[in-house]
Amino acid sequence: MIKTKITELYGIKYPIMSAPMGPFYTTELTVATSEAGGLGVLSHATLRGKNSVSDFKTQIEYVVEHTDKPFGLNVRTARIQTDHKILLRKIAQWRKENPKIREQLVYGLTSAGGPRTASKIWKERAPDMSHLHVGPALWLVDKIVDAGCDGICATGTEGGGHQSYEGISTLVLVQQVARKYPDKLLVACGGFSSPEGVAAGLAMGADAIAMGTRFIASNQSEFHPNYKALIPPATARDTMLTTGGFGPIRLLKNKFCLEHGEVISKEDKINQEQAFNMEEYLDELYRYEIVYTKGDVEDGAIPVGQTCGLIDDILDVDDIITTYTKEAEKILKNLCSNIS
Ligand SMILES: Cc1cc2nc3c(=O)[nH]c(=O)nc-3n(C[C@H](O)[C@H](O)[C@H](O)COP(=O)(O)O)c2cc1C
């Protein structure tokens, strides 16, 4: 058994988490991951609908009805994610009101915007919940630590979905963060989908490994079958950084992605945001909507990481978590036994 700061603190069996993947729902995936002994993480899936706050509450209640194990959630704190401030407060309130939510909701991950407001609200109203923020580069990790977060989800450029403009690999980033902030909780994320990856992440100093693309290609995730089917045949060259609502986004190269083109510069993106165009924003939401509801994987947006080049099959979540951890243990033991 591999013990880390995170397995001990959260009371989980394996140091593996599912990554949040809004605006897609990961409610079933969260239950399956937590039930299997990892930490399932609910997505901020509510770009897509009205009633986003009550929708999130429904997801949380569903999880605590279907598992007694710990879990986490993600809130995107970007400016255009207009429900984030109310959500941060409501999450703290739901924890206070419902003992089961308080006991099980151990991990709040913020991303896509700044960590400061969330840190202030959660430190005051949910001090017993760990607050981590996604950090894509060391200078941004400094800001996360400065904001008082308990830890960092260090996510490198090979990962699927939204990315920063920094382009730092997970390999470099995780080592930098582990070296500079050894006392903080550290989740390594982006590019992990194998036992070797889990072993490598732990060896670099991570307390847990988060995987997104690997869990999309699982039997329990609620992604459309057409989406899942694209992952095993895809190679590591089949993704591209294009421009999304929060900045660069790594998508599978399909018709939509190729038409959208390479990522625009940070300056252009800021100008684009300032000239906010409701039609473009709604079109982007529509690109996810058609993937989710109709499985349109040509005209829709398909976020995946380069790690799809390592994934050959659709597996059970339970299998991924237990096999990967046990194989990672073997790899680490073999390495130790080779040291004379
Ligand atoms: C479909 C999809 C949607 C994502 N949406 C979010 C999100 O809403 N919030 C977030 O913090 N990260 C999001 N991400 C990034 C993941 O949390 C994670 O960083 C990424 O999947 C890690 O790379 P991997 O896919 O190689 O495991 C998304 C990733 C994918 C693939």
Pocket of ligand 1 (CB under 6 A): 19-22, 24, 43-44, 74, 76, 111-112, 134, 155, 159-162, 189-192, 211-213, 303-305, 307
281 lies in some domain:
no
Measured CA to CA, the distance from residue 44 to residue 81 in angstroms comes to: 10
Taking the CA of residue 332 as centre, how many other CA atoms within 13 Å lie in the half-sphere pointing to its CB?
A: 17
Structural domain harbouring 47: 5-226+306-337
The whole-chain average pLDDT of the chain stands at 94
15-24, 94-103, 206-215, 284-293: the lowest-pLDDT one: 284-293
Q: What is the pTM of this model?
A: 0.96
**DSSP character at residue 105:** E
155 lies in some domain:
yes
Segment 234-241 mean pLDDT: 97
298 lies in some domain:
no
Q: Is 1 exposed, middle or buried (0-12, 13-18, 19+ CB in 10 A)?
A: exposed
Facing residues of 241 across strands?
250
Atom of ligand 1 nearest to the CA of 189: 22
**DSSP character at residue 310:** G
161 lies in some domain:
yes
74-78, 120-124, 285-289, 310-314: the lowest-pLDDT one: 285-289
Segment 312-328 mean pLDDT: 97
237 lies in some domain:
no
44-48, 130-134, 174-178, 192-196: the lowest-pLDDT one: 44-48
From the CA of 340, how far away is ligand 1's center (Å)? 40
How many residues are given for the chain? 340
* Element holding 73 (H helix, E strand): strand 71-76
Residue 276 has pLDDT above 90, yes or no: no
Residue from 21, 76, 87, 213 whose mutation best tests the ligand 1 pocket (most atoms within 8 A of CB) = 21
Q: What is the pLDDT of residue 261?
A: 78
Tell me what percent of the residues of the chain surpass a pLDDT of 90.
82
- Tokens standing for residue 17: 């988490």
118-127, 276-285, 286-295: the lowest-pLDDT one: 276-285
296 lies in some domain:
no
Measured CA to CA, the distance from residue 249 to residue 116 in angstroms comes to: 23
268 lies in some domain:
no
* Element holding 116 (H helix, E strand): helix 116-125
The structural domain count of the chain equals 1
236 lies in some domain:
no
Instruction: Supply the CATH number for residue 62's domain.
Output: 3.20.20.70
Atom of ligand 1 nearest to the CA of 215: 27
From the CA of 242, how far away is ligand 1's center (Å)? 15
| Secondary structure (3-state) at 160 | coil
Beta 185-189 vs 151-155: how paired, if at all? parallel
Segment 171-179 mean pLDDT: 98
Residue from 24, 162, 164 whose mutation best tests the ligand 1 pocket (most atoms within 8 A of CB) = 162
Cα distances from 208 to residues 17, 172, 189, 211, in angstroms, run: 7, 17, 9, 10
Tell me what percent of the residues of the chain surpass a pLDDT of 70.
98
